[in-house]
Amino acid sequence: MFVLLFRSLPPQLSTISDFSFPLHFQFKSRLERLFQYKRTPIDIPTTTTTTTTMSGYFSTSQVAGHSSENDCWVIIHDKVYDVSSFLNDHPGGKKIILKNAGTDATKQFDAFHNAGVLEKYGALCIGVIGEPPKDGPAPSAAVTAAAVDDDDRTFGEMIPFGDPSWYQDWDSPYYKDSHRRLRRAVRTFVDAEIMPFVHEWDEAKQVPMFLFTKCAEMGILAAIAGNGKLPVEYFDVEQAALFRGGANAIVPPEEFDAFHSFIIGDELARCGSGGVLWGLCGGLGIGLPPIIKFGSEELKSRIVPECLAGRKTICLAITEPSAGSDVANLTTVANEAQDGYIVNGEKKWITNGTFADYFTAAVRTGGEGMGGVSLIVVERTMPGVQTRQMKCSGVWSSGTAYINFEDVLVPKANIVGKENRGFKYIMHNFNHERMGIVTQANRLARVCLEEAIKYGSKRKTFGVKLVNHPVLRNKLAHMSRQIEATHAWTENVIYQTMTMPEDLQMIKLGGPIALLKAQATQTLEYCAREASQIFGGLAYTRGGQGEKVERIYREVRAYAIPGGSEEIMLDLGMRQSIKVATSLQGAKL
C-alpha cells in the first residue's frame, strides 16, 4: 500500500527528504497495525522465546505514577516496560533509565540501542499505551515488523535495498505465492527464535542443540540439505511446520524449488552472524548432500533421517593442514583392512567439527591425485577420533575444529558411493556449497547496509544526520549497487539450476558460480568495511548498536577463503568459462 501511495505522489514530492505523509495518509496507527497480525500459519516452538507478556492498556498519566527506583516504568515505541527488576542489570546503568522513569523514553532509547534489544527483553513489556480495541483481539506477542505488512506484495521494513526488490512490490518472474508465504514464515521464526540470541550464542562460541530440533520441526534442516529439492523420503513432512498440510502448507512439498531454498538461506542470514548460520547449517548443508546423492540405501536410511530431525549432526571433513583448496593432494589415508578401513590423518578448519556426530571425510583409498580419493563417513563414537576447537577470528559459534583420526576402524558400509570416486562427489557438491556462501555473504552485506542506513538516519554529526552527508550517502550507494547486482546474478544462476540438466550444470555453471562467489565475498568485504566506517567506534566494540557490523566485519575472511578462495575462484571462473566457450559453445578463440 505504501508503494501505491508513493507511486501516485506528485513529482515535486519525489525525493524522500521533500515529503512527510500527511496525517490521513498514515493509513493505520502503529497500534492498529500491531493488532493486525493476520496470519498464524505455523506452530513455532516457544520454549526459549522472550516473547512479550503484554497484558494491559495504559495512559501516559498512569505510567507517570511509576517513577521510583522500586517501581519504574518507561514507554518505548508505545509499549510500556516495567524495568524495576532490570535497573541493576542495565548495561547502560540504572541512573540513566531513572532519569526517564515514568515518561516516554523512546527518543533516548533509540539513541543508544538497536530495536532488536526490545525483542530480547520482551518479558519486561507489560502493555501498550492506548484504549483496548472494542472487538479486536488481544495484543499479540509474536508481532514483528515483518508480520504487520498490509499485503504480501510488500514485505519487510522498506529500508532502501534492505531487502531484495521483490519484497518491495517489484515484479519478478521467479516468485509465486508459496515463496511469499515462506519468506514471512521464516522471518517470523528467525525474529523470534534466533535473532535475539545471536550475540549470546556467538560469545558462548556455540549454537544450542535445541536450535537444531526447532529448525527440524520447521522443516528448515530438510530444505537446507535438499540442495533445491526436498528429500521427502527421509523426513516426516507432516511434522515439519512449513510443509505440513500438503496442498495447504506454507510450501506444498511438491512445489518446493531452488528459490524456496534460496529464501530460507537468505532469511536465515538476516540474523547477521556467520557463526550461527554455519553452526546450524555449515556442516549439514555440505556434509549430508553427498550421502543423499551418492550413498547406499543402507547408509542413507541410517544417517539422513537422524540429521534431518536434528537429533544428530554432520560435517564435511575435506581440508587438511597442508591441502586447502588442493583436494586432489589430500593425505588422510583409509587403508583397507579385514573389517573395514583404517583411517589415519588430520583435518583442519572443519565447520561443526567440534560437535558433529558424523564426519563425511575425504580420504585416500587409492593412488596419487584425484583418482585415489574416496568419501567415507567417520563417526564420533569410533575409537581414535579426536577434535578440538580452533581459535578463529570469526564464525565463533560454528564449532571450527582441528581433527585427528588415529587408527580409526570404519566399516566398509560407511563408504559413500564407490571407492575412488570421491573427487567427483566433492566437485558435485562444490557448486551447491558456493551458492550457499553467495546467498549468505550477500545477505550479510545487506545487513551491513540496512544497519548503516538505520543508524545513519538517527545519528547526527555537526547537526546533520549521517545519511544527509553526501560522503556517507556515497558509501551507501556503492554498497547498494553491488548488493543488487550480486542478488540479480544469484537469481539468474539459481534459475539455471532449475532448468539445466544436472550434468550440464556441472560443466556450464562451475565457472560463473566461482566468479559469483568472488563477487559476493568482495561485496561483503566492501559493505562490512563501509558500514564499520559509518558506525565508527560502535563497530569497533562487541555488542550494542554496532553488534552486527562488528561481527560481520571479522567474519569476512570466513566467506572469502573457504569453499575456494577469491584468487582461486577468479582464476577457475575464467579458465572454466573459456573452456566451455570453446569446447561447447563454438567460440573461436
Point out which residues bind ligand HEM (CB under 6 A). Answer: 74, 76, 81, 83, 90-92, 96-97, 100, 105, 108-109, 112-114, 117, 121, 124, 543-545
* Least Å from the CB of residue 558 to ligand HEM: 23
Q: What is the 3-state secondary structure (H, E, C) of 206-234?
A: CCCHHHHHHHHHHCHHHHHHCCCCCCHHH
- In the complex with ligand HEM, the residue whose CB is nearer, 105 or 560, is 105
Cβ-based nearer residue to ligand HEM, 125 or 309: 125
Closest approach of ligand HEM to the CB of residue 306, in Å: 37
- Closest contact distance (angstroms) between CB of 259 and ligand HEM is 35
CA 82 to chain centre: 32
- In the complex with ligand HEM, the residue whose CB is nearer, 546 or 563, is 546
Identify which of residues 92 and 369 has a Cβ nearer to ligand HEM in the complex: 92
Cβ-based neighbours of 457, under 8 Å, separated by 6 or more: 465, 466, 467
The span from the CA of 399 to the CA of 335, in Å, is 28
CB 83 within 8 A of CB 90: yes
If the CB atoms of residues 245 and 544 are measured against ligand HEM, the closer one turns out to be 544
SS3 state at 448: helix
C-alpha 218/C-alpha 211 separation (Å) is: 11
Cell numbers at residue 273, please? 552472524
Residue 404 CB, shortest distance to ligand HEM, in Å, is: 39
Nearer to ligand HEM, 73 or 526 (CB): 73
For helices 547-560 and 274-281, give the axis angle rounded to 10 degrees: 50
Nearer to ligand HEM, 48 or 106 (CB): 106
When the beta carbons of 109 and 455 are compared against ligand HEM, the nearer one is 109
Q: How far is the CB of 541 from ligand HEM (least distance, A)?
A: 8
Q: Which residue bears the cell 546474478?
A: 489
CB contact at 8 A, 116 and 195: yes
Please state, in angstroms and rounded to a whole number, the distance separating the CA atoms of residues 349 and 332. 15
**Which residue of the chain is nearest ligand HEM when measured via CB?**
92
Cell numbers at 30, concatenated: 502503529
- Minimum distance between the CB of residue 45 and ligand HEM, rounded to whole angstroms? 24
Residue 124 or 516: which CB sits closer to ligand HEM? 124
* Least separation in angstroms between CB 483 and ligand HEM: 25
Nearer to ligand HEM by Cβ, of 122 and 564: the residue is 122
Shortest distance (Å) from residue 534 CB to ligand HEM: 16
Residue 305 DSSP SS3: helix
d(CA 35, CA 152): 17
Question: What's the closest the beta carbon of residue 143 comes to ligand HEM, in angstroms?
Answer: 16
Q: How far is the CB of 112 from ligand HEM (least distance, A)?
A: 4
Q: How many residues does the chain have?
A: 589
The residue (of 430 and 535) whose beta carbon lies closer to ligand HEM is 535
Q: Least Å distance between CB 161 and ligand HEM?
A: 24
User: Whole-angstrom Cα distance, residue 523 to residue 546?
Assistant: 19
Distance CA 105, CA 82 (A): 13
Read out DSSP for 124-146?
Answer: GEEEEESPPPSSPPPPPTT--GG
Let me know: does 221 contact 212? Beta carbons within 8 Å.
yes
Let me know: does 108 contact 138? Beta carbons within 8 Å.
no
Q: Are 1 and 27 in contact (CB under 8 A)?
A: yes
What does the alpha-carbon distance between residue 420 and residue 370 come to, in Å, rounded to a whole number? 8
